[in-house]
Structure 1
């Protein structure tokens, strides 16, 4: 049996609320002037979108809300109905609840039932892992259409009573790095005109012997009163490891396709922060490739980010164009990516 070509039939995204700039965010952490300068110097993010209303503290969107809208719009753009979906896969590091899984809630709202469904608990490579599972399942020939979702909703980690000046460096980063959002894509074996071929998805564990670069705690009935920090990031380790892992992922992706660096038309680099993205792109050295980045405007939306990048690049791809995406997770170090071609 011939191996089917897997195409990205459509992509859609959803951001909650208006953009929140650094000046506005700084007022809530009692560090307006210092805050803005610090963010510009070390992070580079200008705005992000939050599900929480900063004035009232009300959480106005759930992750399921954002994911449902993104998925519904992706399905509409692809011209598929709920009954056409064979597989649903979602990647997120911050689900609404541990149970029920957010992917099941979203599928229920969309009217999708009786199909294979998976939710992956993962950080910045969760979307790649979700794409990988959907891609592999479609390659078997037993399924024809998959809905892949990624998103984050960080309201659980926003504390408007924080005194920014009293935070450790590892905690400071997390107050500004992240934003909320969701994205979805329809993958299909159908020969959709103009839809690029997703040749391969790469996911590799790369953390043997390495300490975690990021830790996100969760609390239950027994330890909910503990005072340990819910979030901690070793930004120095991330600065050191992510460019190296990105280069390794890029080389493996190109070698796997028999492509040379000069063959790449579009580069979708990791989107940890604007400053880190600049450093990674410089390290990768694909000088001829056009960069597709959005983290300055969206903040780090982790598992939603590849969909925002895809949404930007797909309308611009022409026959013969080749795109490579790379993502790295620093929690226990995963390198990942995919290769895409307009044929």
Structure 2
């Protein structure tokens, strides 16, 4: 799915907002709670802080995904100068909904006071945020005349719901322990519009492609019911060796494809938003992508942790103040679950 200019002119990125739960948790605090060495986290993961929606000591849930998505959406609407009554539809992307039904998207709409419009929820990992922007772009391009002017796109995850804080972490193998230090929680949102008016930037493309034909999934996240909740299977499994090998290659493919589709010379890029797996992995991917070019990297994962579908919006929030006149940026997201490639392009309005 892709959505450049299309019917009705360019797509305006009118506002962005994000929400992170609580204060950042640094490596010393996290390592002390888990009984591991903070140096291990810093050396192999490279993520310095992250935010958790649960209390690390008591395990109490302090924020739900609904809470974080609502906060991010409120901030995006305020940033765009838009009201809930302006919203034509909502698209939410998440891999960790609060419940299977009702959808988090429907609950967020209710919290925002939005009714009588389509509400969609996409079940996906890190690529879901780009999928949501692509769907929103198509909906705006194909909307009837007189339709409300804006679409609200939200992405977020509460990964900490899968962490069992009662375990003896010192006996846990690194392949499982990494999930406790890699991930975080958060949400983000953007307001997109084809109506005339002020904009923070233009969303020029949003594309995604399956890239894992015949390949084993790189990540699996279970959702247990009463019949299988005691099956002994871990809630989250990930093939980190496959991720380390494949993600840099797939990221390069996305960058090359987008530049070709846009007919942009690589040297015209001012910023690149690389995949946000961990601080260390993002550094490795960025080195491969740069190839002697002078663009500026826009990353957040070392400070926020890997909070899935929130990441693209956290990166956009950092990008927009830096995007000068004539500026161009490309964002890349790779989802290891079945090797989904996703990318988008942003341009300055003037």
Match of 1:203 in 2: 208
Match of 2:3 in 1: none
Match of 1:335 in 2: 341
Q: Provide Cα deviations, 1:7-40, integer angstroms capped at 9, x if missing partner.
A: 1000000000111111111122222x2xx12111
Structure 2 Cα separation of the partners of residues 105 and 134 of structure 1: 19
Match of 2:283 in 1: 278
Find the partner of 2:295 among 289, 293, 297. Answer: 289
Deviation at 1:265, TM superposition (A): 0.5
**Kept after mapping to 2: 8 A contact 1:29/1:161:** no
**Kept after mapping to 1: 8 A contact 2:160/2:184:** no
The root-mean-square deviation of aligned C-alpha atoms, in Å, is 1.3
**Kept after mapping to 2: 8 A contact 1:28/1:160:** no
Number of residue pairs the alignment of both structures matches: 340
1:81 aligns with 2:80: no
1:215 aligns with 2:220: yes
Matches within 5 A, 1:1-343: 2-31=7-36, 33=37, 36-142=38-144, 143=147, 144-285=149-290, 287-343=293-349
Q: Provide Cα deviations, 1:256-290, integer angstroms capped at 9, x if missing partner.
A: 11001101001111000011101111111253111
Deviation at 1:205, TM superposition (A): 0.4
Structure 1 Cα separation of the partners of residues 346 and 241 of structure 2: 32
Structure 2 Cα separation of the partners of residues 240 and 140 of structure 1: 39
Partner SS, residue 317 of structure 2: helix
**Kept after mapping to 1: 8 A contact 2:12/2:199:** no
Partner SS, residue 306 of structure 2: coil
Note the residue ranges of structure 1 that are not aligned, 5 or more in a row. none
Structure 2 Cα separation of the partners of residues 333 and 169 of structure 1: 23
Deviation at 1:116, TM superposition (A): 1.3
Partner SS, residue 332 of structure 2: strand
Partner SS, residue 156 of structure 1: helix
Deviation at 1:41, TM superposition (A): 1.4
**Kept after mapping to 2: 8 A contact 1:28/1:161:** no
Change (3 A) 1:61 1:150: same
Deviation at 1:161, TM superposition (A): 1.9
Structure 2 Cα separation of the partners of residues 38 and 192 of structure 1: 50
Q: Provide Cα deviations, 1:115-138, integer angstroms capped at 9, x if missing partner.
A: 111100100101001011001111
Q: Provide Cα deviations, 1:118-172, integer angstroms capped at 9, x if missing partner.
A: 1001001010010110011111243531000000112321222222232233312
Deviation at 1:100, TM superposition (A): 0.5
Change (3 A) 1:191 1:3: closer
Structure 1 Cα separation of the partners of residues 160 and 336 of structure 2: 21
**Kept after mapping to 1: 8 A contact 2:326/2:348:** yes
TM-score (norm 1): 0.96
TM-score (norm 2): 0.94
Note the residue ranges of structure 2 that are not aligned, 5 or more in a row. 1-5
Judge which range, 165-174 or 61-70, deviates more. Answer: 165-174
**Kept after mapping to 1: 8 A contact 2:8/2:194:** no
Partner SS, residue 199 of structure 1: strand
